[in-house]
């Protein structure tokens, strides 16, 4: 599921940078509860929340057009 992949990616990057969940939540101006749920693959975060987290983690959101499988 996409939400669990996003959560795992954020958690992995956060740990690589040595940032705690409470610190990341504060730096990104999102609630701790939102971050906890996101990292567990729960909830439905807005693009705004994802963008704030990505910015703090040195990541970017990217949307690509799917290529047709022939």
Q: Give the domain CATH number at 40.
A: 1.10.260.40
Q: Has residue 64 been placed in a domain?
A: no
Q: Has residue 21 been placed in a domain?
A: yes
CB atoms < 10 A from the CB of 50, how many? 17
Structure tokens at 21: 């969940």
- The mean pLDDT of 10-23, rounded to a whole number, is 97
Q: How far apart are CA 67 and CA 44, in angstroms?
A: 26
Per-residue pLDDT at 70: 64
Q: Has residue 6 been placed in a domain?
A: yes
Per the structure, the complete domain to which residue 18 belongs is given by: 2-57
Q: Has residue 37 been placed in a domain?
A: yes
Q: Has residue 39 been placed in a domain?
A: yes
Read off the pLDDT of residues 18-69 as tens digits, 9 standing for 90 and up: 999 999 999 999 999 999 999 999 978 899 999 999 999 999 998 889 888 7
Contacts of the segment 45-54: beta carbons below 8 A, 24+ positions apart: 45/3, 45/6, 50/6, 52/28, 53/10, 53/24, 53/28
Per-residue pLDDT at 59: 96
Q: Has residue 26 been placed in a domain?
A: yes
């Amino acid at each position: 599921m996409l939400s669990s992949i996003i959560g795992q990616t954020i958690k992995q990057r956060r740990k690589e940078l040595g940032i705690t969940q409470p610190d990341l939540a504060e730096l990104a101006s999102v609630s701790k509860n939102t971050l906890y749920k996101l990292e567990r693959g729960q909830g439905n975060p807005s693009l705004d929340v994802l963008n704030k987290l990505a910015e703090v983690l040195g990541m970017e959101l990217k949307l690509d057009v799917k290529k047709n499988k022939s």
